[in-house]
């Protein structure tokens, strides 16, 4: 168990202060341009950021995406960020609840209900761990922290670079189908920084999945995080593989676009969302809400909850400005805004997709 704890703390440390972003690949959200509306006929105060996510009402279309749990430091991060989510009317995700399963006494490191009594809380488990657990056990893990929905994360690229990581990714679809059919709450299928393709979304949709978090490429590189850990452990061969695959993945903008055309009802656009204009662009490509992980952790690390509030205050101001300048009074209006797409994004979207 201590190895899971060490890993969790390593992840927090590396993500808070080391260059673990994608190196050259971007989200491609920068290639989404809105058509300016010089006559919006709106006051800034008319613009509403309110949105619905999994039947919950959020004050703004923002999710603080799942990051951690299992250690005292993780508990501090979870509680601080969940409190911000509660105060700002956002959704909040905990990190993988695997540590809760393998070792008793970890519940408190995920428990945020007391500081976020009304926020939409998302539980989290990896599909490979879920494959080995009964639905009743997973339901119990989610219930113990009072989560409203469960994120099932997919992370094959990261696992391949992680020492002792999973190497067998079979029966993922069957596991997800079981959980969607048997769990008493919504299931969100979530990547962790490499994105979901149109084909994967179609396979998920065919077994009843309605909700996804694309967690695409362009923000935190989990291959990068594990590569740095391999370098620190002088595991040269793994570090070389990680170095090669550092920028592996589908840009967040591309993945977001594909999810709607695959028929998904809920699309959370996480991965490299850096400001409110990116949130606006993701919404215009079909997202229901945007997810932010590492930038929130970095703000907390650098300046505590005040800095996290400042980060999100900025994001909301920028989003509201983009809405006003496109004449969008509501998030729904923004989702219908006309956009012009740049060449690399169009190149990705030229890929034939079956529907
Ligand atoms: C420190 C840290 C730990 C994470 N742990 C998890 C996890 O346990 N489960 C999960 O689904 N995603 C996890 N993620 C992935 C994020 O939820 C998100 O998908 C990814 O970091 C991309 O978003 P970003 O570019 O805003 O960081 C973690 C991210 C960070 C920064």
**Tens digits of residue pLDDT in 165-185:** 999 999 999 999 999 999 999
Q: What is the whole-number distance in angstroms between the Cα of residue 272 and the centre of ligand 1? A: 11
Q: What is the whole-number distance in angstroms between the Cα of residue 310 and the centre of ligand 1? A: 21
- 206: Cβ–Cβ under 8 A, 6 or more apart, which residues? none
Residue 191 Cα: closest atom of ligand 1: 19
**Tens digits of residue pLDDT in 156-166:** 999 999 988 99
Which H or E run contains 102? Answer: helix 98-102
Tell me which residue has its CA closest to atom 13 in ligand 1: 67
Choose which residue among 192, 221, 224 to substitute to test ligand 1 binding: the one with the highest number of ligand atoms within 8 A of its C-beta.
Answer: 192
Tell me which residue has its CA closest to atom 11 in ligand 1: 153
Specify whether the CB–CB gap between 261 and 355 falls below 8 A. yes
Residue 354's pLDDT band (boundaries 50, 70, 90)?
low
**Tens digits of residue pLDDT in 198-252:** 999 999 999 999 999 999 999 999 999 999 999 999 999 999 999 999 999 999 9
**Tens digits of residue pLDDT in 38-73:** 999 999 999 999 999 999 999 999 999 999 999 999
Q: What is the whole-number distance in angstroms between the Cα of residue 240 and the centre of ligand 1? A: 23
Q: What is the whole-number distance in angstroms between the Cα of residue 157 and the centre of ligand 1? A: 13
Residue 69 Cα: closest atom of ligand 1: 8
pLDDT of 4 above 90 = no
Q: What is the whole-number distance in angstroms between the Cα of residue 35 and the centre of ligand 1? A: 32
Closest Cα to residue 53, out of 277, 212, 278?
Answer: 212
CATH H superfamily, domain 22-349: Aldolase class I (3.20.20.70)
User: Structure tokens of 342?
Assistant: 């740049």
User: Mean pLDDT over all residues of the chain?
Assistant: 96
Residue 85's pLDDT band (boundaries 50, 70, 90)?
very high
Residues flanking ligand 1, CB < 6 Å: 11-12, 15, 65-68, 95-96, 124, 151, 153, 190, 192-193, 215, 219-220, 270-273, 292-295, 297
pLDDT of 2 above 70 = no
Tell me which residue has its CA closest to atom 5 in ligand 1: 67
* 87: exposed, middle or buried (Cβ count in 10 Å: 0-12, 13-18, 19+): middle
Residue 295 Cα: closest atom of ligand 1: 26
User: Structure tokens of 156?
Assistant: 């094959």
Residue 1's pLDDT band (boundaries 50, 70, 90)?
very low
Residue 218 Cα: closest atom of ligand 1: 25
Residue 222 Cα: closest atom of ligand 1: 21
């Amino acid at each position: 168990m201590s190895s899971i704890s060490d890993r969790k703390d390593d992840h927090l440390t590396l993500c808070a202060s080391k260059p673990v972003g994608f190196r050259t690949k971007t989200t491609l959200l920068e290639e989404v341009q809105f058509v300016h509306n010089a006559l919006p006929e709106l006051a800034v105060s008319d613009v509403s950021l309110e949105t619905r996510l999994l039947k919950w009402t959020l004050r703004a279309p923002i999710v603080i995406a799942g990051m951690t749990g299992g250690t005292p430091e993780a508990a501090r991060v979870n509680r601080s960020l969940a409190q911000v989510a509660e105060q700002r009317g956002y959704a909040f995700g905990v990190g993988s609840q695997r540590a809760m399963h393998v070792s008793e006494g970890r519940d408190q490191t995920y428990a945020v209900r007391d500081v976020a009594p009304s926020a939409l809380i998302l539980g989290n488990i990896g599909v490979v761990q879920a494959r080995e657990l009964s639905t009743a056990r997973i339901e119990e893990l989610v219930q113990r922290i009072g989560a409203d929905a469960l994120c099932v994360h997919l992370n094959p690229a990261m696992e391949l670079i992680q020492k002792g990581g999973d190497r067998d990714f079979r029966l993922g679809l069957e596991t997800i189908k079981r959980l969607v059919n048997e769990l008493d709450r919504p299931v969100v299928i979530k990547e962790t920084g490499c994105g979901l393709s149109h084909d994967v979304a179609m396979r998920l949709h065919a077994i009843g999945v309605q909700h996804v978090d694309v967690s695409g490429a362009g923000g935190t590189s989990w291959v990068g995080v594990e590569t740095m850990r391999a370098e620190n452990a002088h595991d040269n061969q793994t570090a070389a593989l990680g170095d090669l695959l550092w920028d592996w993945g589908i840009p967040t903008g591309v993945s977001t676009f594909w999810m709607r055309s695959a028929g998904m009802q809920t699309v959370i656009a996480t991965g490299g969302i850096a400001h409110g204009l990116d949130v606006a662009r993701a919404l215009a490509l079909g997202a229901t809400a945007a997810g932010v992980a590492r930038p929130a952790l970095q703000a907390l690390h650098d300046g505590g909850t005040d800095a996290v509030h400042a980060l999100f205050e900025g994001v909301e101001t920028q989003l509201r400005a983009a809405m006003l300048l496109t004449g969008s009074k509501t998030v729904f209006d923004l989702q219908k805004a006309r956009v012009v797409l740049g060449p690399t994004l169009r190149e990705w979207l030229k890929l034939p997709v079956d529907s």
